[in-house]
């Protein structure tokens, strides 16, 4: 017997013994009875005391099994977190820092240095920061030739890494987001573990925009982000600042981008990002993380004008926020619309697409050198073929061939099923190579079809990256797609 499973064995025994009896009792109690049994065909029958007892025993066994499984899962999660903190330093790269007090502090005038550097860049006539040593990602985003597909992973910095959990055991999520040196350290963690990564993405959260608008947010254990209030009705919008000073309220993100670019010595690019207006609105209306966005979807139908007002305000903030990240040293900017697939395509076209296209156009109008991508998760990609986005993200629910047909002029990014990273390394490599060849290396950025999750093993990403690096542009030319 596996150690620690004695309780499970007892529950299983009771379950196996009790459930068949209980099921038989239920069938016998509720099946139609003939007239000679003394019960008319339409009179409800009453189960015997034996049947009742068996039913209770079965229900108790089922409840016990469910309770045991739930407790075991909780125990495993807690033990995993405890083990992370107690692991020897060899459990993560030697240069990783796992305590906030040990992180290198930036100069006190970091914000002023950032603004001065940006002003000097602008005065020089340059529209972009000097290219990083490894600019494979940027060349692919522009549609230029590369030797192999660049790669990074959505949520590559975060809860699956033991070094991240060790750091977070001494602080909290939003403190990290608001402290440039801590955000920088977390951003660098996956690069130290996987040095073949072609990019970093700044560690932050899409919900910093609602926070800047006056919605305080906290990270609840086992629940996720929760706001102090939700936008239950349009009247609640009066609590918001619809046009906050983005530099004043979100400068900590800009400082984190600038500091990270310095700390990585411009070896790889640092990606900046924002949530899309619709995705942000969903969290704001629901009050935080939820399983479905029913209330937010109702808003679009019940309060269309107020919805447009909120979405437009978010659109303008997103533009300012992305421009600020570009000015701080992020050459590629991403707009994540993870709630895209929550509403019908026609409704998405009506309420969301115009704002997204405006974001891309306006950012490029103000910063011609900026590269910008969009991830319309589970949505219709063809919508963005005529947009100013350079890159369109592909969900794991869309095939590479369909993605190429939908956006033939765009660089595509995606779309490995994140769950594949639980598999053995041979299967990860085999399926990753097949995916790269389906997309073809030209105009392609290799990524996941959604983000990393807390329970991912650290070995999975390593196998994924090795597989991507094994496929050259000669091995995977642009695919010849048959007509649909």
80-118, pLDDT tens digit by residue?
A: 444 444 454 457 787 888 899 999 999 999 999 999 999
Q: For residue 15, what pLDDT is reported?
A: 37
Quote the CA–CA distance of 260 and 270 in Å, as a whole number.
8
Going by C-alpha positions, the residue among 362, 374, 370 that lies closest to residue 407 is 374
What are 316's two structure tokens? 């303008």
- pLDDT band, very low/low/confident/very high, at 75 (cuts 50, 70, 90): very low
SS3 of the chain: CCCCCHHHHHHHHHHHHHHHHHHHHHHHHHCCCCHHHCCCCCCCCCCCHHHHHHHHHHHHHHHHHHHHHHHHHHHHHHHHHHHHHHCCHHHCCCCCCCCHHHCCCCCCCHHHHHHHHHHHHHHCCCCCCCCCCCCHHHHHHCCCCCCECCECCCCCCCCCCHHHHHHHCCCCHHHHHCCHHHHHHHHHHHHHHCCCCCCEECCCCCCHHHHHCCCCEEEECCCEEEECCCCCCHHHHHHCCCCCCHHHHHHHHHHHHHHHHHHCCCCCCEEEEEECHHHHHHHHHHCECCCCCHHHHHHHHHCHHHHHHHHHHHHHHHHHHHHHHHHCCCCEEEEEECCHHHCCHHHHHHHCHHHHHHHHHHHHHHCCCCEEEEEECCCCHHHHCCCCCCEEECCCCCCHHHHHHHCCCCEEEEEECHHHHHCCHHHHHHHHHHHHHHHCCCCEEEEECCCCCCCCCCHHHHHHHHHHHCCECCCCCCCCCCCC
Average pLDDT over residues 401-411: 97
What contacts 72, CB < 8 A, 6 or more positions away?
8
CB of 333 closer than 8 Å to CB of 272: yes
Average pLDDT, the chain: 86
Q: Which residue has the tokens 């919605």?
A: 215
- pLDDT band, very low/low/confident/very high, at 404 (cuts 50, 70, 90): very high
Q: What are phi and psi of 19, to 5 degrees?
A: -65, -45
If one compares 28 and 410, the residue with the highest pLDDT of the two is: 410
> Does residue 54 carry a pLDDT above 90?
no
0.85 exceeded by the pTM? no
| Cβ neighbourhood burial of 14 (10 Å; 0-12, 13-18, 19+) | middle
- pLDDT band, very low/low/confident/very high, at 481 (cuts 50, 70, 90): confident
Q: Please count the other Cβ atoms lying within 10 Å of the Cβ belonging to residue 322.
A: 26
> Does residue 250 carry a pLDDT above 90?
yes
> Does residue 16 carry a pLDDT above 60?
no
What contacts 336, CB < 8 A, 6 or more positions away?
206, 273, 274, 275, 276, 279, 375, 377
What contacts 43, CB < 8 A, 6 or more positions away?
none
Q: Which residue has the tokens 């590629």?
A: 332
Q: Which residue has the tokens 């969290």?
A: 283
> Does residue 58 carry a pLDDT above 80?
no
Quote the CA–CA distance of 103 and 55 in Å, as a whole number.
60
CB of 186 closer than 8 Å to CB of 157: yes
Using DSSP bridges, classify how beta strands 332-337 and 217-220 pair: parallel, antiparallel or unpaired: unpaired
């Amino acid at each position: 017997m596996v150690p620690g499973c004695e309780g499970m064995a007892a529950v299983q025994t009771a379950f196996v013994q009790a459930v068949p009896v209980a099921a038989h009792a239920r069938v016998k109690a509720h099946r139609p009875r003939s007239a000679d049994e003394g019960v008319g065909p339409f009179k409800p029958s009453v189960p015997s005391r034996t049947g009742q007892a068996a039913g209770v025993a079965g229900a108790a066994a089922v409840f016990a099994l469910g309770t045991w499984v739930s407790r075991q899962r909780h125990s495993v999660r807690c033990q995993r977190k405890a083990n992370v903190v107690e692991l020897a330093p060899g459990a993560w790269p030697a240069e990783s820092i796992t305590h906030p007090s040990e992180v290198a502090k930036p100069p006190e005038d970091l914000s002023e240095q950032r603004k001065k550097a940006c002003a000097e860049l602008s005065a020089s006539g340059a529209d972009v920061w000097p290219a990083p040593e490894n600019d494979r990602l940027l060349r692919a985003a522009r549609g230029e030739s590369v030797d192999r597909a660049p790669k990074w992973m959505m949520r590559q910095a975060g809860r699956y890494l033991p070094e991240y959990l060790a750091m977070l055991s001494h602080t909290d999520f939003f403190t990290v987001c608001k402290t440039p040196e801590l955000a920088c350290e977390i951003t660098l963690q996956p690069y130290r573990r996987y040095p073949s990564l072609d990019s970093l993405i700044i560690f932050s959260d899409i919900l910093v925009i609602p926070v800047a608008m006056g919605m305080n947010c906290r990270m609840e254990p086992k629940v996720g982000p929760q706001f102090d209030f939700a936008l239950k009705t349009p009247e609640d919008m009066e609590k918001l600042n619809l046009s906050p000073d983005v530099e004043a309220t979100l400068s900590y993100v800009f400082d984190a981008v600038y500091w990270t670019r310095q700390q990585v010595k411009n070896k790889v690019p640092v990606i900046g990002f924002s949530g899309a207006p619709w995705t942000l609105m969903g969290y704001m209306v629901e009050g935080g993380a939820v399983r479905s966005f029913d209330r937010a979807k109702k808003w679009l139908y019940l309060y269309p004008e107020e919805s447009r007002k909120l979405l437009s305000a978010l659109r303008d903030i997103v533009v300012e926020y992305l421009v600020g990240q570009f000015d701080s040293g992020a050459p590629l900017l991403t707009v994540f619309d993870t709630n895209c697939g929550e509403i019908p395509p026609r409704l998405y076209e009506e309420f969301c697409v115009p704002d997204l296209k405006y974001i891309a156009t306006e950012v490029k109008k103000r910063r011609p050198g900026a590269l910008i991508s969009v991830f319309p998760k589970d949505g219709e990609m063809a919508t963005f073929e005529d947009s100013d986005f350079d890159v369109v993200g592909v969900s794991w629910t869309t095939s590479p061939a369909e993605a190429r047909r939908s956006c033939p002029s765009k660089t595509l990014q995606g779309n490995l099923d994140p769950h594949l990273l639980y598999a053995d390394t041979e299967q990860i490599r085999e399926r990753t190579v097949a995916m790269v060849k389906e997309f073809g290396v030209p105009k392609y950025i290799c990524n996941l079809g959604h983000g990393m999750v807390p329970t991912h093993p650290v070995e999975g990403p390593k196998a994924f990256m090795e597989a991507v690096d094994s496929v050259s542009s000669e091995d995977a030319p642009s695919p010849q797609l048959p007509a649909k």
